[in-house]
Chains A and B, each alone.
Chain A
Amino acid sequence: MALGKVAVVATAQTELRPLWGEAQHIDLISAVVTSVFKGSGFSIDDVDFVIDSGSDVLDGRSISNCGFLGALGAHRKEEARVEADGIWALQYGVNKIRSGASSVGLIVAYSKPSESLVENYWASQVEPFYQRPVGFSQRAAAGIQAQRYLADRGCSERDLAELAARRWADAKAHANVQIGDVPDAEAILASGESALPLTELMMARPVDGAVAMLIVDESSARRAGNNPVFITGMGSGTDCHAYADRDPLKLASLEGAAAMAARAAGWSAQQADVVELSAHSVVGEMLAMDVLGLDEGKTAINRSGGALPADPIMATGLCRAAEAVRQLREPQLYGGGAPSRAVVHGAQGVGMQNNCVMTLEV
C-alpha cells in the first residue's frame, strides 16, 4: 500500500540558554508555537493535531502537558504527550499523517533543566534496586564508556577535548545558543572532573529552550510551495536497560535504528550531506559517528554544534532535525553547496540506551 509522504514546512526555536530565568515553560512554548507559522502559509487553525515532548520530572509537575495545552496551541485539538525526546514526537506525527488521518501537525519539544537538579532526572531513570543505590547513572555510564573507548581505539583525552572544542566553536558560529567564551581543548581538559576520564565540558551541557516544527502531508506541502523538506526514513531501537549488559564499544540500538531508517530511505548515513547527532558526552558522539560509519572529512557533522554545547534534554533530537532542515533549506548560511540529504539523530536513556534516526531530503 502506498503511504503518503510527509514534509517539514517550518521550524522555530528559542535561543538555547543555560538559564532562561525570566521565562516560564509556557513562555518558551508559546513563543515557538507563535513563530513557527510566520511565513509558512499555515496558521494555528490549520493544525489538526499537536504532539509534544517534555518531562514531568524536569518540569516538576505531573502530566505537565495538561497545564501547557493552551500555550501549545492545542485547545480543542487532538494532542499527545510523548515522554521521550522530541524526535519521537516527530516520528509519531509522521506516522499520523502517513496514515491519512490528518494533514497538518505541530510538533513541540521543550525543557527547562535549570529549574531542577538534572542529576535527579538521570538517577531516577535507572532501576531502583541494584543500580540506583550505588550511584550508577548517566555520568558513570559515560565515564566507563570513555575508558573503554579510549583503550580500544588508542586515542587520548586530548582527542576528546579537540572534538568537543570544535563543537562549541560550531555552535557559536552557526546555532542560536547562548555561549560566552568558546572553550578550547585546553580549557575542556582543564574543566573539573565529571566522570573520570571525562571532564565537565566533555559532557553535554543542559540548556533551557523550546523548538516547534510544522509537518504536513505531501499535497499540502506542494500547495504551500515553501521549500519543503521530506521525511523519507525513520528507525529506532532500544538497548538493554543496564549499561553493563550492553556491548561497550558500539551503540547497538543506534546501529539498528540507522539500518531501519536506511531501508526506508534507500540510502544510508554515509551518503548523507548533512548529519546532526545527539550525544550525552563527547565519547557518545564518537561512538555514534563510528556506528554510522561517518567520516568528518566527507560529511558535515553537527555544524550546529550538536548536543555537547547545548542539550535541551527533551528537545535535543527535535533541535537536530530543525538544524538539519535549516542546513538543507538555506545552505548559503553554511558556505553554500547543494546538500540534498540529511540524517538526524536523537538519543535518550542512561548511556544512550534508546536511539532514533530519521532521513530528510529536499
Chain B
Amino acid sequence: MYSAPESMPLDMPTFHAEISLPYTLTPGGAAGTFLAEMKNRRIVGSRFANGEVVAPAQDFSASDGEPMASFVEVPQTGEITAFTRVDGTIIAFIKLDGCANEFPHRVLGDLDAVRIGQRVKAEWDDGVENSILAIKGFVIAEDAAVGTVSDLPEPEEAIGSLDYALALPYEHAYGPYYGRMFDEIKGFGRVMGVRTADGDDALLPPREIDDISHTPTGTWKTCADTGTIRGCSIINMEFIGQTKKPPYVYAEIVLDGASTRLIHLIEIDDVEFAKKNIGPGTRVRAIWTDGERKGSMADIERFEVIEE
C-alpha cells in the first residue's frame, strides 16, 4: 500500500518564489458602511427583520441568509465571551451591548486580568481609518455602563474598494529531476532532459514519469542550446508583475534534441520586423548570461534568431 518516490535524494537548496499581489477589495454595503464609519468612531451594526442586532454589520444573516433591514449604531461597550492567546496577542470574542452575536477582536492588557464575562470597551487608534483596526482593541472597563443600540439613519456612504495585499512566500523543492537539470545548467551551461521509454528526444523539463504514457522515463540527454520556435507572440502590453519592458517576443522553443517546449523570450527592436521575421519554425540560439550562472532558467538571458 505504501510507497516512496523511487528517486535519489539530493541535497539541494530550495527554490525561493514569492507571489505578491495588490488588490482592491469591495467590502459591500454592510462592511463598507461599517468601515466608512470607523473614522467617525462609530460601530455600525445591522438590524434584521426579527429585531436582532448584529455587529459588525452584515448584509445577510449568518444563520438563515435573510438580508439586513437597517443600519444601527451599537455601543462601544460589551463583554468578553471567550478568549485565547496567539503569538502573544489576546484574541477574544466580544459581545457588544444590545447585540445578538459575538465577533473576534484583540484585547489590550494583561492576560491575568482577562476573564469570561469581563466588561470591556473599544479603544480607538487615531492613525487608522477604513479598517476594523481603527478599533485598536478592547480594554478592560469594569464599570462601563451598559449601552443601548440606536438608529443610524444617515450613515456614511459605503466604501467601494479597499487596498489590500497578499504576499505568499514559497520554498519549492527541486526534486531529483529539476535538481540535476539546474545543476547541469549552473555547472556546465548545458540543458539536460530525459528520454522517454520509446524515443531519443528528451523531455524538458525532465521528470520521473512520462506525462503521456505514465511510464518511467529513461536516460539523461544533453540538448543543444539551439532550437526551433514552435509558437511565439509579440508582447506589446504592460502589466503588473511583468519582468521585462515590452516589446519583446514570448517564445515557446523546442531545443534541438528535445520534444517538449521551453518558455523564454527574444529581444526585439522593431515590432514590424519581428512580425515578418520571427515565427514558428524560426531557428534560435540561447544567449547565456555573462555573469555567474545561478542554476535557473534566467541563466539563459534570452534567445536570439540565428541568421541564416
Question: For B62, what are the chain A residues with a Cβ–Cβ distance below 8 Å?
Answer: 240-242, 245
CB-defined A-B contacts under 8 Å, sample of 12:
A24-B178, A27-B5, A27-B177, A71-B207, A115-B172, A130-B103, A135-B89, A136-B91, A139-B84, A151-B116, A240-B62, A244-B102
Question: For B173, what are the chain A residues with a Cβ–Cβ distance below 8 Å?
Answer: 20-24, 112, 114-115
Question: For B19, what are the chain A residues with a Cβ–Cβ distance below 8 Å?
Answer: 60
Interface residues on A, range: 35 or more
CA distance A154 to B28 in the complex (A): 42
- Closest partner residue, chain B, to A59 (CB atom): B170
Q: Contact at B214–A143, with CB atoms within 8 Å?
A: no
Q: Contact at B1–A11, with CB atoms within 8 Å?
A: yes
Q: Contact at A44–B214, with CB atoms within 8 Å?
A: yes
Specify which of B83, B89, B166, B168 is in contact with A60 (CB 8 Å cutoff): B168
- What per-residue 1/0 map shows which CB atoms of A189-202 lie under 8 Å from chain B? 00001111100000
- What per-residue 1/0 map shows which CB atoms of B63-98 lie under 8 Å from chain A? 100000000000000000011111101010100000
* Chain A positions near chain B (C-beta within 8 angstroms): 11-15, 20-24, 26-28, 30-35, 44, 57, 60, 69-71, 73, 75, 112, 114-117, 120, 124, 128-131, 133-136, 139-140, 143-144, 146-148, 151, 176, 193-197, 240-245, 248, 322, 326
CA distance A178 to B108 in the complex (A): 41
Question: For B89, what are the chain A residues with a Cβ–Cβ distance below 8 Å?
Answer: 135
From B85, B102, B209, B212, name the one whose CB has the most chain A CB atoms within 10 angstroms. B209
Nearest Cβ in chain A — how far from B293, in angstroms? 22
Q: Contact at B86–A34, with CB atoms within 8 Å?
A: no
Q: Contact at B175–A27, with CB atoms within 8 Å?
A: yes
Tally the A-B contacts, defined by beta carbons under 8 Å.
Answer: 187
CA distance A140 to B116 in the complex (A): 16
Q: Contact at B104–A131, with CB atoms within 8 Å?
A: yes
Q: Contact at A193–B85, with CB atoms within 8 Å?
A: yes
Interface residues on B, range: 35 or more
- Closest partner residue, chain A, to B168 (CB atom): A120
Specify which of B5, B86, B104, B164 is in contact with A14 (CB 8 Å cutoff): B5
Q: Contact at B82–A60, with CB atoms within 8 Å?
A: no
Interface assignment of B174: CB less than 8 Å from any CB of chain A: yes
Nearest Cβ in chain B — how far from A43, in angstroms? 9
With A24-B178, A26-B209, A116-B168 already in contact, 4 other A-B pairs whose C-beta atoms are closer than 8 Å: A20-B173, A22-B179, A130-B34, A140-B91
Interface assignment of B121: CB less than 8 Å from any CB of chain A: no
- Closest partner residue, chain B, to A208 (CB atom): B173
Q: Contact at B93–A26, with CB atoms within 8 Å?
A: no
From B10, B162, B169, B170, name the one whose CB has the most chain A CB atoms within 10 angstroms. B170
Interface assignment of B7: CB less than 8 Å from any CB of chain A: yes
Question: For B170, what are the chain A residues with a Cβ–Cβ distance below 8 Å?
Answer: 60, 115-116
